[in-house]
Structure 1
Amino acid sequence: MTDHTTSAPPVHALLADGTTVCIRPVAAADHEQLRGLYEEMSPENLRLRFFGLSRRSAEMAADRACAAPHRGHRALLAERAGQVIGLAEYDTGGVGTEADMSIAVADGLHHRGVGTLLVEHLVSAARAEGVTSFAADALSENREVLRLFADLGLRVGRRFEGPEVRCTIVLEEDDTYFSAVEERGRAADVLSLRPLLRPQAIAVIGAGRKPGSVGRAILHHLKAGGYTRRMFAVNPAATSLLGVPCHPSVSALPRTPDLAVVAVPAAGVPATAEECGKAGVRALLVVTAGLDADQAQALLAACRTYGMRLVGPNCLGLSNTDPELSLDATFAANHPRPGTAGVAVQSGGVGIALLDGLSRLGIGVSSFASLGDKYDVSGNDMLQWWESDGRTRLALLHLESFGNPRAFSHTARRVARRMPVLTVDAGRTDAGRRAAASHTAAAATRTMTRAALFTQAGITATRSVGELLDAAALLHSQPLPAGPRIAIVTNAGGAGVLAADACAEAGLTVPAPTPHLVDDLLALLPDGAAAGNPVDATAAVTEDQLAQCVDRLMRHGDADAVLVALVPTAVAAATGDDLVRAVTRLSGPRPKPVVAVRLEQALPVELLPATDGSSVPSYAEPQAAARALAHAMRRTEWLARPAGTVPGLDGVDTARARSAVETYLDAHPDGGWLGPRECAALLDCYGIPQLPWAWAETEDDAVLAADRLRGADGRVVMKGHWPGLLHKTAEHAVHLDLRGDSQVRAAFRDLETRFAGLLTGVVLQPLADRGTELFAGVVQDEVFGPLVLFGLGGTATEVLADHAARLAPLTDHDVHDLITAPRCAPLLFGANGARPVDLDGLEQLLLRLSRMAGDLPQLAEADFNPVLATPGGVTVLDARVRLLPRRPHDPYLRRLR
């Protein structure tokens, strides 16, 4: 059991009412405050806590909590503005994995989630230290604490003993517990954002008297945008600015604002934040840029101390277009049009482009946040706000960094089930790639990691702001396609060919029409028309003919969407036909998406008003239309799949694996690559199949080992080993197909001679059967967590780069995606009449690798190459594992950044 008591850092988290508290380990200096916590309790609460009244109870409880840290004991306190408001602790007594647990909350702060939050953090700490259950005693009349235990989401047993009840809380965190924690966190997060996004009073601090300052621009925008609540300016040199009452300081305001907009020079930001906190301000929007490290730390410290949520610094501002509020606290050139798209960006320039684009399209904006340097409020917060605001139908993100990608992924998966979530995949060419110490690390680029995050979370990832708006226009205005089959109709053959190429390149299909459909279309269209796919309706097509053709294609069962590619012609102009109107005329609800491509269109994308009040997206390029349809199709596929589950695994010994890791790191404090014996033992803890092997340090030992390992054909393989050796084949440290003792001896002498001073021994294995050589590995990304990779293996794995990746923990669907995504997948399923490999065994290998990475945060990377897959089984032929000293990280623990 590892003791982390003294090293756990303080964290800040949200209570049920959205206010902020600090959770940290108890220190000896907290004794007086802890004693005061108990002494200030009412006699009734003291009786419920200690089962009686005693003047010594408070002193003894404080002594116990502040005792010198020891194994099996953990005490955590909650404090707000430096005042202790709650305490939770457990103690195993130094033995076993069951701990006695107790909890206390200050009078006047019950029903605000203090106790629940403390217990959640205590559960996380206990599990990291090997504790499997809590035992807590309570009076049966203490309904509050009994309800707290029951609502945790953990399995709770009760045993009544007279007036007391013994509660046993099993610390098996599963989906029920994670869902309960997630729901508590979501509710608290949304409440904490209300002062930011629905403030009842705003103060702009730093608005100048002369035009040109950012603060003045925001004040002007607030007033011109029609903000419906109280508004103040803070400037000691003025009494009124732009008709808004001005006061010399925050403390002089006639009422405390919910939100303070800070637009003062960087040097003044910390003091301004401190003043706001002392005055009771609940949220800050800091647009100031250029804060140095000390100023940044002081700003965040003030926000945490006084429980203020923070947007920024270095940002464009925020907006909420709800007519009841009309909040536009930005310095963008224009006010956003009210609508249904929620927008969160880190780049102010991207934010302006999205606000203008969405307003121009008519989609509009529900709320907007420019997150800037993102000290606090993040994309994860905004997703939760949009999920519950009742106005947002489309979520658009531009995030250059992720504070807690695992929490973001969990939230995005949930939100994406309710509305499309779109992002620009910024930073795809980030050069900050980790050193390629192994095949796994070489393959695990940041681009691949982000792609895995977006794919698993159901996020529509685009490559530019323009592509984001293209996809948003379609998802806002059209139903989702049922599949990838696109019917194309055009009045110019060349435009149809361009559209067909674009669809194929986007991963869509352009199927040939059935004979019956061909006959129907030719009966509708003018002479000379060709009813293939694309349908060439010719320049002679009339508005009515084209409308009927689109309607027929849309209602035919062999197409999932219709793309209409149009060019202006003198023929249509002469007859007065409006071919665009043929696309927007609706005779009833459209069951499939319809998009237009107009090659002469000036804007990249427009939404054309339809006769029923809806709209049809129109693109200037067929590639844009095809990409938008492909994004919609992938969303259809993602929504059609169940969420997936993480299967249970038998034959896993996590406790032994953790013990082995701690033993290694005790001997190697800086970490390193495990030796063959240590590596094999770790894989054995997770039931990962390995080819039989033996270790030899002398020539005679090698001969004896070879005799034991030889299969029916008598052939063995010898691999040299020394600390730091990674690519044995590249170093020519492998001898294959060794027969008889003389060849074994010669191979050993060769390795011993060529690698004198390096070689510490050799690994011998029987020569493996023929099969498909694969690669499986995992990298523990510092930000994103464990990333599992899979693909074609062998010596060419990096050259061919045939890999797929998913973030752990892997669900059953993730494993299926990993196996089917690489180009080598047909080899696994039995290409050219061959038998398929052991797919169940392959799935088990990946699930066990994922489990190992999730259990062991110290596992920096693991590299299985090759993995031999045959119809009879899956076996790891060579494995490497690197450990680093890292603390356990609970991705589900509620805490602020």
Structure 2
Amino acid sequence: MLADGTTVRIRPAAAADHDAVLRLYEGMSPEHQRLRFFAVSHRSAEQAAARVSGRRVPGGAATTRAEGNGYLALLAEHEGHLVGIAEYETAHIEPGDTEPVTADIALAVDDHWHHRGIGTLLLEHLVSAARVAGITAFTADALTENHAVLRVFADLGLRTTRRFEGPEVRCVVHLTETDTYLTSTENRGRTADVASLRPLLRPESVVVIGAGRKPGSVGRAVLRNLCTGGFTGRLFAVNPHAATVFGVHTHPDVASLPQVPELAVLAVPAAQVPTIAEECGKLGVASIVAVSAGLGPAQARALLDTCRTHGMRLVGPNCLGLANTEADVRMDATFAAAHPRPGTAGVAVQSGGVGIAVLSGLARLDLGVSSFVSLGDKYDVSGNDLLQWWECDGRTDLAILHLESFGNPRAFARTARRVNRRMPVLTVDAGRTEAGRAAAASHTSAAATPTMTRQALFTQAGIIATRSVAELLETAAFLHSQPLPAGSRVAVVTNAGGAGVLTADACVEAGLSLPPLGADLVDDVLAVLPHGATATNPVDATAAVSEEELRACVRLLSASGRVDAILVALVPTAVASATGDMLVRSLTHAPDRRRERPVAAVLLDQDLPVKLLPAEEGTVPAYTDPQAAARALAHAAKRARWLSRPPGTADDPEGIEQARGRAVVEGFLDRHPEGGWLNPRECGELLDAYGIPQIPWAWAESEDDAVLAAERLRGASGLVVLKAHWPGLLHKSQEHALHLDLRGDSQVRAAYRDFEVRFGHLMTGVTVQPLAPRGVELFAGVVQDEIFGPLVLFGHGGTATEVLADHAARLAPLTDHDVHDLITSPRCAPLLFGGDGGGPVDLEGVEQLLLRLSRLACDLPQLAEADLNPVLARPDRVTALDVRVRLLPRQAQDPYLRQLRQLR
């Protein structure tokens, strides 16, 4: 999408594009031709068009690029018309050249399409392709008066240098990826995204196509909600069999509409959806909501192709619709039974049923929504789009998502991380109980479940992931009404001991703590409570507590600084000095109550799971279940911790030989185009390229070679290890394919012969290693998820890895925060810090191992999985003892490249 939300198609140029490219150049004004070619010349345009198509200019030199040159031309089209071109070409590259590769670039945009971001968008795609090709910098010559192109280079977000030579300037754009470039592309993407969504969420006119007269029809329900909801724009309906529906004049077809509507709601049979969408596109409709369900694959592709061709944004199909409650819009284009209540929560769901439940729950809480979008099958508009809309709409302060799939998780994570700094983002972690992937070949794939991958995404992006819609609403109520706690220390106050015990248990189970209050605070609290009260946390105020006494107790705890939040658990009794309602009023009507600490109530006799009680200052959340209150508070505390951490940094480790690692991968895939497992020597070469330490080892293909290697590798213990190898061997211990504690030549020979007898028809050789010293056995690995990208796993290693399942996971590239979380999250973490009395291991070495694995996975998309198990961690070093790596013939995908989603 361009800066104004217009959609263009970007594709590589082909020989057949010669005439279109020539028309583009010849259609430029003389001034723009001069700026592009440094002269006004028809021949320059012919030569440029010929270069793109590889043709020969009549009477001129051949334009076909010399063998070994790198050339790429990208075209931008709008509805089939060429509107821009960008190209790069490198000099001839000799085999063995080690100098950085640069490429000359050229850029041209149709005169009528200037200042809409075409040139910048083309350059972004050119940068992405150039990086894959190993190009490190772009060079370009321009006239010093060509301010527009110089501004494009300067604003790209990449480091640019200039050298002025008379009337010309030589620009060098360095392609080394920086966070500045990603931030710049995100900002441009957000501008385009929000612009494209305006006709969808703030339309000035809407047409409902398929608005029937039959009660119960979807189109009729949508039109009814638009009418009764008070939509402020113009409203049209298409129905060839009725004159009016709900008082709205109908038209027989799309072409007969008196004006072009900005939004079309399609409520027609699935077979008609592509045709109707094409009619809308030709008319100039800007956006579509397809509530229709049941589209087949061919119909789905036709619908999305039509939307892409005509630049229409699409919600659905198979969705509930959308709504915007802004006072100057008031659009309810859903077929829900009730209008969404106006508010400040942005809601996007894939399931219409979940959407109705969320809307109903928010209405009960009197929260309401700013905008609601039912994404349905999510062909186009996604959760990522809505996050960016809510970030900029000026109304939304709480984002609620229910997503069953992710189109571009890494781009989503960056967006969510940024939006989360401004407002909480909540989701329901759906599908936690699915069986997951079938037990994969290696430890790494077996450990990396879809649930673990999603949870890594949520954790790194700061998204609050709840386990149900009810928990989501409970948490939303707390976040909407209370300040964030500074920590996880909780004081529980109750008028019934049993309720206090239940609430205390719920807090601890949720990861919160109940600290002692301290002698001075205990004395102060007891002084304001009835005789017989206790203040050991939980604070039992007794059934005789009055409204004023309870208010004073809560005030003291809030002002003490000893706790970060207060939960007040109340039950109605017949002996209280005040009624139950009066006790609740001590929390809600306290004009002098300090608000530094969040306060929530647990009312065991409450009729609804969660309520927001009106207070003199805002509202107070009240829960029926202590566990619900504790969960909501724990989510708030987790968000506070996430916000308190500065954004992590992803510094590259030193000594990475990316070209060497790429050569190992390309060499293997040349020999094995279908992919497969690397042999030990290839694994060792790959790890060496990325500076990942390994225990000394040698490869032996005969008994004598094994003996010689053992003599060379014996350490202080004099013992060695032999490991058999053959293609596809993964679990050596299960296959009894290793011998430990071998001393002397005779034992080495006996071990090798045993392998030959048992595995002779399979075995290709053995690895020989010195017996490793004692240490903490760890596991580190990478799985390349086709959707989420590389996932780094870390945890307890050795033969019990799969049984214990003590793993943590984070999506690469890892930041310093991610590395810290990986190291501290597994249950075995205390062992790394000396919890067994042996002193801490080399923690810096563990950090470096994870960072280098992350870089390895990001550099090499062909890396399907890598399994380092065990990794031996000692106080002096960290060493990989056994390594397995599997490659697949995959192409690099730029997860941050601006592009609209395509159906798989």
- TM-score, normalising length from structure 1? 0.97
Work out whether 1:267 is the aligned partner of 2:267. Answer: no
Work out whether 1:42 is the aligned partner of 2:29. Answer: yes
Give 1:346's aligned amino acid: Q
2:249 maps to which of 245, 251, 256 = 245
1:255 maps to which of 254, 259, 281 = 259
Provide the C-alpha distance between the structure 2 equivalents of 1:201 and 1:607, rounded to a whole number of angstroms: 37
* CA displacement, residues 160-217 of structure 1 (integer Å, 9 cap, x when unaligned): 2221111111111110111101100011101000010000110110001222110110
Instruction: Give the aligned partner of residue 89 of structure 1.
Output: 87
2:235 maps to which of 223, 227, 231 = 231
- Aligned counterparts, 1:721-732, within 5 A: 721-732=725-736
Instruction: Give the aligned partner of residue 461 of structure 2.
Output: 457
1:662 maps to which of 653, 666, 687 = 666
Provide the C-alpha distance between the structure 1 equivalents of 2:580 and 2:535, rounded to a whole number of angstroms: 25
Conserved? CA contact 1:137–1:164, under 8 Å: yes
Instruction: Give the aligned partner of residue 697 of structure 1.
Output: 701
Give 2:367's aligned amino acid: I
Instruction: Give the aligned partner of residue 60 of structure 2.
Output: none
Conserved? CA contact 1:422–1:468, under 8 Å: yes
Conserved? CA contact 2:572–2:579, under 8 Å: no
* CA displacement, residues 121-165 of structure 1 (integer Å, 9 cap, x when unaligned): 000000001111111111111110011001001111111222111
Give 1:600's aligned amino acid: D
Work out whether 1:98 is the aligned partner of 2:102. Answer: yes
Instruction: Give the aligned partner of residue 193 of structure 1.
Output: 197
Provide the C-alpha distance between the structure 2 equivalents of 1:398 and 1:575, rounded to a whole number of angstroms: 41
TM-fit CA distance, 1:435:
4.0
RMSD across aligned positions (CA): 1.2
Instruction: Give the aligned partner of residue 3 of structure 1.
Output: none
Provide the C-alpha distance between the structure 2 equivalents of 1:525 and 1:25, rounded to a whole number of angstroms: 78
Provide the C-alpha distance between the structure 1 equivalents of 2:15 and 2:52, rounded to a whole number of angstroms: 9
Instruction: Give the aligned partner of residue 61 of structure 1.
Output: 48
Conserved? CA contact 2:573–2:580, under 8 Å: no
2:681 maps to which of 677, 681, 685 = 677
Instruction: Give the aligned partner of residue 212 of structure 1.
Output: 216
Instruction: Give the aligned partner of residue 77 of structure 1.
Output: 75
Work out whether 1:542 is the aligned partner of 2:533. Answer: no
Instruction: Give the aligned partner of residue 476 of structure 1.
Output: 480
SS in 2 for 1:108: helix
* CA displacement, residues 719-755 of structure 1 (integer Å, 9 cap, x when unaligned): 0000000111111010111111111111111101110
Give 1:330's aligned amino acid: T
Provide the C-alpha distance between the structure 1 equivalents of 2:159 and 2:438, rounded to a whole number of angstroms: 41
Query: 5+ residue gaps in structure 2?
Result: 55-63, 94-98
Provide the C-alpha distance between the structure 1 equivalents of 2:580 and 2:175, rounded to a whole number of angstroms: 74
1:639 maps to which of 631, 636, 643 = 643
Conserved? CA contact 1:313–1:374, under 8 Å: yes
1:566 maps to which of 570, 579, 594 = 570
Instruction: Give the aligned partner of residue 612 of structure 2.
Output: 607
Instruction: Give the aligned partner of residue 4 of structure 1.
Output: none
Q: Which segment drifts farther, 537-546 or 451-460?
A: 537-546
Instruction: Give the aligned partner of residue 16 of structure 1.
Output: 3
Q: Which runs of 4+ in 1 moved over 6 A?
A: 573-577
TM-fit CA distance, 1:432:
3.9
* CA displacement, residues 844-884 of structure 1 (integer Å, 9 cap, x when unaligned): 00000000000000000000000000000001111111000
Q: Which segment drifts farther, 668-677 or 651-660?
A: 651-660
TM-fit CA distance, 1:647:
1.3
Instruction: Give the aligned partner of residue 813 of structure 1.
Output: 817
Conserved? CA contact 2:776–2:874, under 8 Å: yes
SS in 2 for 1:90: strand
SS in 2 for 1:888: coil
Work out whether 1:333 is the aligned partner of 2:337. Answer: yes
Instruction: Give the aligned partner of residue 431 of structure 1.
Output: 435
2:323 maps to which of 319, 322, 331 = 319
Give 1:685's aligned amino acid: A
- Aligned counterparts, 1:285-364, within 5 A: 285-364=289-368
Conserved? CA contact 1:737–1:767, under 8 Å: yes
Instruction: Give the aligned partner of residue 9 of structure 1.
Output: none
SS in 2 for 1:659: helix
Change (3 A) 1:117 1:576: closer
Q: Which segment drifts farther, 849-858 or 165-174?
A: 165-174
TM-fit CA distance, 1:832:
4.2
- Aligned counterparts, 1:830-841, within 5 A: 830-841=834-845
Q: How many residues align?
A: 883
Give 2:6's aligned amino acid: T
Provide the C-alpha distance between the structure 2 equivalents of 1:644 and 1:810, rounded to a whole number of angstroms: 9
TM-fit CA distance, 1:58:
2.0
Conserved? CA contact 1:159–1:166, under 8 Å: yes
Change (3 A) 1:117 1:650: same
Provide the C-alpha distance between the structure 1 equivalents of 2:228 and 2:167, rounded to a whole number of angstroms: 65
* CA displacement, residues 440-498 of structure 1 (integer Å, 9 cap, x when unaligned): 11110111101100000000000000000000000000000111111011111110000
Work out whether 1:590 is the aligned partner of 2:595. Answer: yes
* CA displacement, residues 824-855 of structure 1 (integer Å, 9 cap, x when unaligned): 11110111432110000110000000000000
Conserved? CA contact 1:752–1:759, under 8 Å: yes
* CA displacement, residues 288-341 of structure 1 (integer Å, 9 cap, x when unaligned): 000011111110000000000000000001010001110110111111111110
Change (3 A) 1:573 1:279: farther
TM-fit CA distance, 1:436:
1.5
- Aligned counterparts, 1:487-502, within 5 A: 487-502=491-506
Instruction: Give the aligned partner of residue 717 of structure 1.
Output: 721
Instruction: Give the aligned partner of residue 61 of structure 2.
Output: none
- TM-score, normalising length from structure 2? 0.97
Provide the C-alpha distance between the structure 1 equivalents of 2:789 and 2:779, rounded to a whole number of angstroms: 20
* CA displacement, residues 563-607 of structure 1 (integer Å, 9 cap, x when unaligned): 000111123487687111111122244111100011111111000
Give 2:457's aligned amino acid: L
Q: Which segment drifts farther, 851-860 or 562-571?
A: 562-571
Instruction: Give the aligned partner of residue 177 of structure 2.
Output: 173
Work out whether 1:374 is the aligned partner of 2:378. Answer: yes
Conserved? CA contact 1:773–1:792, under 8 Å: yes
Provide the C-alpha distance between the structure 1 equivalents of 2:841 and 2:53, rounded to a whole number of angstroms: 59
Conserved? CA contact 1:572–1:578, under 8 Å: no
Q: Which segment drifts farther, 710-719 or 309-318?
A: 710-719
Q: Which segment drifts farther, 169-178 or 710-719?
A: 710-719
Give 1:603's aligned amino acid: L
* CA displacement, residues 226-269 of structure 1 (integer Å, 9 cap, x when unaligned): 00111110112223211112112222212111100000110100
1:798 maps to which of 783, 799, 802 = 802
2:754 maps to which of 747, 750, 757 = 750
* CA displacement, residues 3-24 of structure 1 (integer Å, 9 cap, x when unaligned): xxxxxxxxxxx11111101111
Instruction: Give the aligned partner of residue 59 of structure 2.
Output: none
Give 1:61's aligned amino acid: A
Change (3 A) 1:710 1:531: same
TM-fit CA distance, 1:553:
1.4
* CA displacement, residues 331-389 of structure 1 (integer Å, 9 cap, x when unaligned): 11111111110000000000001111111101110000000000000000000000000
Work out whether 1:117 is the aligned partner of 2:133. Answer: no
Conserved? CA contact 1:547–1:582, under 8 Å: yes
Change (3 A) 1:574 1:645: closer
Query: 5+ residue gaps in structure 1?
Result: 1-13
SS in 2 for 1:570: coil
